[in-house]
Amino acid sequence: MIFDNKRSELEIIEQILSLATHDTKKTRLMYQTNLCYHHFVEYMDFLIKKDLLGVKKGNPSGNVYYTTDEGKKFLIDVKNVLCHLK
């Protein structure tokens, strides 16, 4: 199997969930994952719909995102898979 320098979808999901284990804002997540806005929103919507990522609304400075308990379990599994691929 030949890998290029691009990240897989699984690697991007792992990165978002890892960063969100410490409550964080959308802008910070987008910059740290180095995704364009359009792709970033698609990943965020997917993770929220799958209940892997949660949103704390009502924060005066904007919404805060966090990895749910289900997301933390998924994150462990993803890290195990990625470890075996390398």
Question: What distance, in Å, lies between the first and last C-alpha atoms of the chain?
Answer: 11
Per-residue model confidence (pLDDT) at position 1: 39
Give dist(CA 5, CA 49) in Å, integer: 29
Per-residue model confidence (pLDDT) at position 50: 97
Consecutive 10-residue runs of the chain (86 residues): their mean pLDDT?
66 94 92 94 96 88 92 93 79
Per-residue model confidence (pLDDT) at position 5: 58
Q: What is the helix, strand, coil percentage profile of the chain, to 5?
A: 55, 10, 35
Per-residue model confidence (pLDDT) at position 61: 77
Structural domains in the chain? 9-85 (1.10.10.10)
Helix (H) or strand (E) holding 44: helix 37-49
**Cα radius of gyration rounded to whole Å, the chain:** 13
